[in-house]
Structure 1
Amino acid sequence: MELGDNEKSPLFPKKENEPVKLKRTVGVLSASALVFGSCVGAGIFISPKGVYEKAGSPGAGLMVWCLSGVIATLCTLAYAELGTMMPQSGGEFVYIHRVYGDCLAFIFSFCNTLLIKPASLSVVAVLFGEYLCNMIWGPATNDLIVKAVAVALIVTLGLINIVGVNVIAKVCTVISVLKLAVVGFLVACGIAIVIKGQGVVTNFQLSLSFEGSSTNPADYGLAFYYCLFTFQSWNSLNYMTEELKTPEKTLPLGGFIGLTGVTLSYFLCNVAYLMMFSLHQIVDTNTIAMDSGFIAFGRAGEITMSLGLLVSCLGCLGGAICCISRNIQSTAETGIFPSFLSGINKTFQTPIKAIITVVLTMSVYVLVDANMLIPFLSTVEWLFYCVTFSTILYLRYKEPNSKRPFKVPLFVSVFLFLITGTFVVLPLFSEESRVTTLLGLSWLPLGAAVYGIRHLIKQCCYKKLEQKTSSQSSLDSGYSEVDGNDKECKLS
């Protein structure tokens, strides 16, 4: 079965009363900027600690970063095959719904839009609030003020998203340029330390850089887990396929360019870290980017890196709100989520109700402190990536002749299916992460229970409607018989 434009899609049938559609306004440059801006957030300033702690050595940690970039880029290209084959916005939901039906698609959207994404992004918003307040009032800032700043940021970015996707794309483009400047400054910090003769040379000596590397596969699984968390928005464009100009070109090319830029930036940042710090120093600090600026250029460098982190948070949150709202909107279009969330505003041509839902959900997680939720929610995220890659294999087998404007080699899809499944299973072999992994997987039966309750309610509503319709038909039939008898009487 071929999937062409939206009017031909069996998943999104054309509706006569729905004239407003998303407009194709995002080109290759804007798409690349959205991917880069969404990926490069606070993660590169936070995750190095976990990556190097689990890898056990500078060389092994740097290899994990490079391989993670390769995996994320391959994931983007594989998703481009699905996105060009089924050119609807909504990301994984569209592909899972096509192959596995309503139930699993609902569970995915339930976990992704109401738990995984909002929870992880709310942490980024709180981080923004902490650093901004620290710069203005110092480290002893009241926690309530920090959370108020975080909520204000989320609302502001939500309003920008409402104005139009082309606006947020332009904002992300500008922020992406600023992020490149931040990466450049971080590299300059490393170079400055080397010039001063204070660089950690042993991190780059082949005979010493791999000394102490972990031999436990579970440790490397967790190292990749921390690292790939910083690449977690690699699938951004699949959530807004209907807004891409010529998606068969923009989706693979924009994703590839964006992820290549992200991978190169992360590599340079890690090289800079290893120039300035020993492995133990990286593991012991929670503010490695700030420390980098302070060591190289004093207080001015620290402030510069703080501003860079704030800019990174802005770009990450702005692009992510755009993508999550499209997932909600496309899910609602199929009737799996409440239909009112599928509406597109005529003035701004954006899914305002879906955006408001994202803003409200993220704001709730800011207030309840979502830091405790991230580890096990991310486990569910990787599980659904694995499920999505299985749809590529299924469609290759069941529909080999379907139109695929872009296609990756089969071995790439097989590799990604196996590696994402491994990322879900490996944490189970570590005592440190086993409990959080099992807690994450427990959200699946929760989503299934919500789907079951929703299905029962719909069935009850249908039965009542059928009874009402049947009763009305009986009354109409009775009236017809009476009218017929009256006519017979009159004729006689």
Structure 2
Amino acid sequence: MKNQQHVQELSSEKTEFKREIGVFGGVSIIGGIMIGSGIFYLGSYVLQRTNYNIGLALLAWILGGVISLFAGLCYAELGAAMPKAGGRTVYLTEAYHPCVGFLAGFCDWLIGGPGSVAALAIALPTALKPVTGINDAGIKVFAIVLIVGLTVYNCYGVKLASILQNISMVAKLIPILLIMVVALFCGKVTPDISIGQQVATSGTTGTISMVAFAIVASLWAYEGWTNLNSVAEEVKNPKKDLPLAIIIAIGGITILYTLFNYAIYRVLPYETVVSMIEQGDFYLGTEVAKLIFGNVGSILVTTAMVIAMFGSINGLILAQPRTYYAMAVEGHFFKSFAKLHPKYKVPTAPLVVQAIISIILVLMRDLDQLTTLVVFSTMLFNCLTVLAVPILRKKMPEMPRPYKVWFYPVSVIIIVLIYIGLVISTFLDDPTSAIIGFIVPAIGIVFYLYFDKKKRQEGNRI
């Protein structure tokens, strides 16, 4: 009886939030965060890791998308069953222990969320530097104004934030699609996508290892699909809209990334591509735009990059504070974080604190080093979240699951193994960053013990 009551409580769609996000809004949140300036240069890293084999590079993009899609489907099952603000912090709490969910949220709160916001806020005016001539001090001022402005805007409700996200999503896709479509149909190069010669040279095992290494690079371009789950309580019909938005967004972006990179090879001769990368010029997409549209091409690329980063910042500011809110509601974080604005129904305190931390990170010098601290632990928590699917199916078999991940359990096993491989690969490639990556969760344990003790003391008084 107690278990049934718990299941009903978790599955309830009653919420203090305003349900303002539809399917397109969900797609815009995911796509707005995922599609950034990396679309113009990350293809170079993928190609480089496949020993400049175009066929294997395109395969890596497709497989990277498929991996992200199936991991996203695991989040879709969890999100549809437990449509709660906070996303994976809720799932990790239910599957393992409140401490595990707290640590995932704590890493996002201290470094992950604010670090990403700060990095993008700095990158946006930096992209305008050739046009505006803005200096380093001006870039930081611009970044701070941007963070403050978008935070204040998000404080006026999720509907306004979602509308801005929808507009920025469409606005950045226009120049990207224009460049891609014209390149596909007007390009005169027929790229060699055969992989036989590479397999003969490297062997089957060597080729698989090469593709796996390239997939890791492509996965960074797919980062961001987890954020919709953080605002599940603000999705109009989370049991239906959340899985649908995840499938459309990740599936559509996989097609976009693959076709965009193929379009590059339709315009740039193979020798030019190799020469550019070897000389350290990774912006193949930018070069394609310049060749097709001349000076207008540079404007198109700059416009797309600026809008893409703007949309990513807004999406992160919209989604991340809901995680901190969920931690507070669970009873293991600052009480003020558990309060919603009486009129606009947004977690105002988490929004403001995230902005303050982001501004502090903007003012610090080694921003890149700070943001890498959480990369290792993020992969660990994603792996644990995917593994939460079979754990919760066994632990809570009576929980209503309006959506279930495809090809279970094979798909879940494969995704978990891939994440384990990525964790091991990261540890071997950069053990220092991996070890330092544990510092933030270690600090988080101290915070958890403090809040847990406080929670128990308050419970005893009652």
TM-score (norm 2): 0.88
Deviation at 1:234, TM superposition (A): 0.7
Segments of structure 2 that go 5 or more residues without pairing to the other structure are none
| 8 Å contact kept, 1:4–1:87 | no
Q: 1:28 to 1:192 in 2, by over 3 A?
A: closer
* Offset of residue 92 of structure 1: 0.7
Alignment map for 1:54-453 (pairs within 5 Å): 54-57=49-52, 58-137=54-133, 141-188=134-181, 190-191=183-184, 194-195=187-188, 199=189, 201-206=190-195, 215=206, 222-275=213-266, 276=268, 277-282=272-277, 284-368=280-364, 369-408=366-405, 409-430=408-429, 433-453=430-450
Offset at residue 376 of structure 1 (A):
4.2
Superposed CA RMSD in Å reads 3.0
- Decide whether the 8 Å contact of 1:203 with 1:278 is kept in 2: no
CA distance in 1 between counterparts of 2:41 and 2:373 reads 18
Query: Deviations along 1:217-274, whole A, 9 cap, x unmatched?
Result: 7765553333222221112221011111121110111111111221111112211233
User: Are 1:32 and 2:27 matched, yes or no?
Assistant: yes
* 1:187-209 per-position Cα deviation (integer Å, ceiling 9, x unaligned): 146348724xxx4x454355568
Other-structure match for 2:46: 51
Contact 1:221 1:427 in 2 (8 A): no
The SS at the match of 1:245 is: coil
Aligned-pair distance for 1:158?
Answer: 1.3
> How many corresponding residue pairs?
449
- Flag the 1:321–1:2 CA change in 2: closer, same or farther, 3 A: farther
Shift of 1:293: 2.1
Q: C-alpha displacement at 1:53, in angstroms? A: 2.6
CA deviation map 1:386-421 (0-9, x unaligned): 111121111122222321111122222222222222
Query: Residue deviations 1:412-459, cap 9 Å, x none?
Result: 2222222222211122333xx333223223433232233345556777
- In 2, are the aligned partners of 1:52 and 1:282 still within 8 Å (CA)? no
Distance in structure 2 (CA, Å) of the matches to 1:247 and 1:192: 39
Which structure has the bigger radius of gyration? 1
Distance in 2 (alpha carbons) for counterparts of 1:250 and 1:172: 17
- Per the alignment, in what secondary structure is the counterpart of residue 183 of structure 1? helix
Where do 5+ consecutive residues of structure 1 fail to align?
Answer: 15-19, 470-492
Deviates more, 1:369-378 or 1:302-311: 369-378
Shift of 1:462: 6.1
Kindly indicate whether the alpha-carbon contact (under 8 Å) linking 1:119 and 1:362 is maintained by their aligned counterparts in 2: yes
Q: Residue 189 of structure 1 contacts residue 297 of structure 1 at CA under 8 Å; is this kept in 2?
A: no
Q: CA deviation at 1:306?
A: 0.4
Do the aligned partners of residues 160 and 293 (structure 1) sit closer, same or farther apart at CA in structure 2, a change above 3 Å counting?
Answer: same
What amino acid sits opposite 2:411 in the alignment?
V
Q: Does the CA contact (< 8 Å) of 2:173 and 2:304 recur in 1?
A: no
Residue deviations 1:353-399, cap 9 Å, x none? 11112222222222224212344422211110011112111112222
Report the Cα distance in structure 1 between the residues aligned to 2:173 and 2:198, rounded to whole angstroms: 27
Per-residue CA deviations over 1:283-322 (Å, capped at 9, x if unaligned) read 6224333333223322221111101100111111111111
The 8 Å contact of residues 199 and 207 in structure 2, kept in 1 or not, is answered as no
Partner amino acid, structure 1, of 2:142? V
CA distance in 2 between partners of 1:322 and 1:54 (Å)? 35
SS at match of 1:163: coil
Q: For 1:407, what is the secondary structure of its paired residue?
A: coil
**Secondary structure at the counterpart of residue 354 of structure 1:** helix
Task: Report the 3-state secondary structure (helix = DSSP H, G, I; strand = E; otherwise coil) of the residue aligned with 1:406.
Answer: coil
Deviations along 1:80-112, one digit per CA (max 9) or x if unpaired, are 111121121101100111122222222111111
Displacement after TM superposition at 1:54 (Å): 2.5
2:9 counterpart residue number: 8
Deviations 1:23-59 (A, max 9, x none): 1111112212222212111232342233223232222
Asked if structure 1 preserves the Cα contact closer than 8 Å seen for 2:68 and 2:219, the reply is: yes
When structure 1 is superposed on structure 2, of 272-281 and 375-384 the one drifting more is 272-281
Instruction: Indicate how the Cα distance of structure 1 residues 202 and 244 shifts in structure 2: closer, same or farther if over 3 A, else same.
Output: closer
Q: 1:356 to 1:63 in 2, by over 3 A?
A: same
Corresponding letter in the other structure for 2:253? V
Distance in structure 1 (CA, Å) of the matches to 2:179 and 2:119: 23
CA distance in structure 2 between the partners assigned to 1:174 and 1:387 by the alignment: 34
1:416 alignment partner AA: I
Q: Quick one: structure 1 residues 278 and 453, their matched pair in 2 at CA, closer, same or farther if it must change by over 3 Å?
A: same
Checking the alignment, whether the CA contact within 8 Å between 2:333 and 2:451 is kept in structure 1 is no
Give secondary structure in 2 for the equivalent of 1:179. Answer: helix
* Superposed displacement of residue 144, structure 1: 1.2
SS at match of 1:105: helix
Structure-1 separation of matches of 2:211 and 2:370 = 22
In structure 2, the CA distance between the partners of 1:94 and 1:65, relative to structure 1 (3 Å rule), is same
Alignment partner of 1:278: what SS? Answer: helix
